[in-house]
């Protein structure tokens, strides 16, 4: 097994200082990244540091300058152009603007985009000759793996010397897939769109009229990504939103096609993002909604949360659901492990509290109040219990209802990374399946758990008696409390 941990903040800066001998250049790059916090966070991925260095070096050391990228889509758009223009030195003839793509460039890039999109859906990152040929790519052309594709697409020989192709990084595949999908939207390739947007949330077949406007197209893409539990389309959807704004469309020229993106339309896109109904999905998925707002350069939510974090009277500020996703993201990005996460201290809705759950991973003690725990949000709890390292030592749940499929929560108590010492339920409901799962976990003797409280809880079915019999037996070494609090 290989674990890629990524760069710490100190290692990010060390990378750029080592990459460039010119101290002024490395200093300017680091300074720009720190002012664009979302880019600085992404530099935890080593490949992204390389992409960033490639783009910013080109823009800061040549005459082809402009405003430096501030969003992820902007950065990848520039990266695509930089790599494409590397081959111009081999071409004779009329000089072209660095932002101008030849028709041959566009053709190859869209074919690569089709390959990227079709195989992103299948979760494939390796391709063979027949895969390229199905997308119209001629593997005998040097341009497939050199020139325009020098740092985008690679060719290697592995077992039996059979050529295998791949993008230099999954994020590059996701970006090109988004470019292709956006091109299909603007050029009304309805078959491709309908194949991707199979059904709406009511099971109704999608028609071309359902995706006729930009806001409908982006809204359907967000819905599609939310339906996938592991989130493998999140960055793809993030890029789609970034490609919808004029600056990135100008940057990529005719590659995307023409679309209406007036301020009124973008405002409707923003409104749709803020009103996404993600109930029942893993709350981690909701954070990508906030990322999409950043990509379309809507920064007010980010600014409002920064003000909230700096305020003295946090309980007076009413937080919307999108505020909660943004707050969860910012708490996750902090390198400081905090003492207590208490949902009761946040003035928000039921759904807002649910969206805050991913932030638990950065706390030693968590107090959950008035939430449902079910398969869709067990992921946030599981991550807090099993992350490496796991900081959580106490988990207190008050007025919580555990659904039938929430027994997964208890299986994590025996995980090698779990360091939970106190597990407490107060005035909560545990189903018979929950009781059985908890009993099984306790019998496996989770090494760090010392105390279990079931104060005023409703335990359903025969599992209640079996659980209490075990807890009150001499074999159980846990401190146990179940009486109603006085």
Contact between residue 453 and residue 482 where contact means Cβ atoms under 8 Å apart? yes
Whole-number pLDDT of residue 375: 63
Within a 13 Å sphere around the CA of 24, how many CA atoms are in the beta-carbon half? Answer: 2
Query: Cis (ω within 30 of 0) for the bond into 428?
Result: no
Question: Is a pLDDT exceeding 90 seen at residue 157?
Answer: no
pLDDT level of residue 19 (50, 70, 90 thresholds): very high
Question: Is a pLDDT exceeding 60 seen at residue 159?
Answer: no
Question: Is a pLDDT exceeding 50 seen at residue 93?
Answer: no
Neighbours of 29 (CB within 10 A): 25
Instruction: Give how far the C-alpha of residue 78 lies from the chain's centroid of Cα atoms, to the nearest Å.
Output: 22
pLDDT level of residue 363 (50, 70, 90 thresholds): very high
Mean pLDDT for 5-29 is: 89
Looking at 363-367, 405-409, 412-416, which range is the least confident one?
A: 405-409
Q: Is 374 buried (19+), middle (13-18) or exposed (0-12) by CB count in 10 A?
A: middle
Whole-number pLDDT of residue 88: 54
When the pLDDT of each residue in the chain is averaged and rounded to a whole number, the result is 85
Whole-number pLDDT of residue 183: 95
Buried b (16+ CB within 10 A) or exposed e, 265-284: bbebbbebbbebebeebbbb
List, in order, residues 6 or more apart from 370 with CB less than 8 Å away.
343, 350, 353, 398, 399, 400
Question: Is a pLDDT exceeding 90 seen at residue 460?
Answer: no
Contact between residue 478 and residue 442 where contact means Cβ atoms under 8 Å apart? yes
The domain locations on the chain are: 71-86+102-261, 300-481
**Rounded distance between C-alpha atoms, residue 86 and residue 147, angstroms:** 7
Entry pTM: 0.88
Task: Please write the tens of the pLDDT for every residue from 214-255.
Answer: 999 999 999 888 877 678 899 999 999 999 999 899 888 778
Task: Please write the tens of the pLDDT for every residue from 45-81.
Answer: 888 999 999 999 999 988 766 789 999 999 999 999 8
pLDDT level of residue 203 (50, 70, 90 thresholds): low
Which of 273, 369, 359 lies closest to 321, judged by CA? 273
Task: Please write the tens of the pLDDT for every residue from 104-144.
Answer: 888 888 999 999 999 999 999 888 888 988 998 887 653 45
Distances (CA, A) of 68 to 28, 34, 79: 11, 13, 12
Residue 10, Ramachandran bin (φ over 0: left; ψ between -120 and 50: alpha; else beta): alpha
- Round the CA-based radius of gyration of the chain to a whole number and report it: 25
Instruction: Give me the percent of the chain exceeding a pLDDT of 90.
Output: 42
| Arch. (CATH architecture) of 300-481 | Alpha-Beta Horseshoe (3.80)
For residue 403, give both structure tokens.
Answer: 């659904």
Residue 427, Ramachandran bin (φ over 0: left; ψ between -120 and 50: alpha; else beta): left
DSSP 206: P
What length is written for the chain? 486
**Rounded distance between C-alpha atoms, residue 150 and residue 396, angstroms:** 53
Could you give the 3-state DSSP secondary structure of residue 62?
A: coil
Task: Please write the tens of the pLDDT for every residue from 295-334.
Answer: 999 999 999 999 998 888 888 899 999 999 999 999 988 7
**Rounded distance between C-alpha atoms, residue 319 and residue 308, angstroms:** 9
Q: Report angle CA 390, 396, 399 to the nearest 5 degrees.
A: 140
Angle in degrees, 0-180, between the axes of helices 300-310 and 321-333, rounded to the nearest 10: 70
Instruction: Give how far the C-alpha of residue 37 lies from the chain's centroid of Cα atoms, to the nearest Å.
Output: 16
């Amino acid at each position: 097994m290989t674990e890629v941990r990524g760069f710490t903040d100190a290692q990010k800066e060390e990378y750029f200082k080592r990459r460039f001998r010119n101290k002024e250049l490395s200093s300017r790059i680091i300074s720009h990244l720190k002012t664009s916090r979302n880019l600085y966070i992404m530099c935890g991925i080593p490949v992204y540091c390389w992409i960033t260095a490639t783009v910013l070096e080109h823009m800061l050391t040549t005459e082809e300058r402009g405003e430096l990228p501030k969003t992820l889509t902007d950065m990848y758009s520039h990266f695509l152009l930089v790599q494409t223009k590397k081959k111009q030195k081999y071409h004779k003839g009329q000089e072209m603007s660095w932002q101008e793509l030849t028709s041959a460039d566009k053709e190859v890039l869209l074919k690569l985009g089709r390959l990227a999109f079709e195989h992103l859906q299948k979760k494939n990152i390796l391709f063979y000759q027949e895969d390229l040929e199905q997308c119209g790519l001629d593997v005998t052309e040097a341009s497939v793996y050199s020139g325009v594709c020098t740092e985008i697409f690679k060719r290697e020989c592995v077992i039996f010397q059979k050529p295998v192709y791949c993008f230099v990084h999954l994020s590059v595949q996701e970006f090109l897939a988004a470019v292709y999908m956006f091109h299909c939207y603007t050029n009304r390739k309805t078959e491709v769109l309908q194949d991707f947007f199979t059904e709406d949330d009511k099971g109704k077949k999608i028609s071309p009229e359902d995706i006729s406007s930009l806001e409908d197209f982006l809204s359907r893409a967000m819905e599609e990504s939310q339906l996938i539990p592991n989130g493998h389309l999140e960055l793809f959807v993030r890029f789609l939103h970034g490609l919808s704004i004029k600056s990135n469309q100008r940057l990529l020229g005719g590659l995307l096609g023409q679309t209406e993106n007036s301020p009124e339309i973008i405002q409707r896109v923003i409104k749709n993002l803020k009103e996404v109904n993600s109930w029942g999905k893993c709350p981690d998925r909701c954070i990508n909604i906030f990322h999409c707002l950043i990509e379309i350069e809507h920064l007010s939510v980010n600014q409002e949360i920064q003000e909230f974090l700096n305020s003295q009277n946090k309980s007076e500020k009413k937080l919307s659901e999108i505020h909660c996703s943004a707050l969860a993201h910012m708490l996750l990005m902090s390198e400081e492990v905090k003492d207590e996460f208490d949902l009761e201290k946040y003035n928000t809705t039921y759904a807002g509290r649910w969206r805050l759950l991913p932030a638990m991973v950065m706390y030693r003690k968590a107090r959950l109040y008035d939430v449902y725990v079910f398969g869709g949000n067990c992921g946030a709890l599981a991550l807090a219990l099993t992350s490496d390292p796991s900081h959580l030592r106490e988990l207190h749940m008050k007025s919580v209802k555990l659904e039938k499929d929430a027994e997964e929560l208890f299986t994590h108590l025996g995980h090698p990374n779990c360091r939970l010492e106190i597990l407490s339920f107060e005035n909560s409901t545990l189903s018979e399946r929950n009781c059985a799962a908890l009993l099984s976990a306790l019998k496996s003797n989770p090494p760090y758990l010392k105390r279990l409280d079931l104060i005023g809880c409703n335990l359903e079915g025969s599992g209640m008696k079996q659980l209490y019999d075990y807890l009150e037996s001499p074999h159980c070494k846990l401190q146990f409390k179940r009486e109603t609090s006085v």
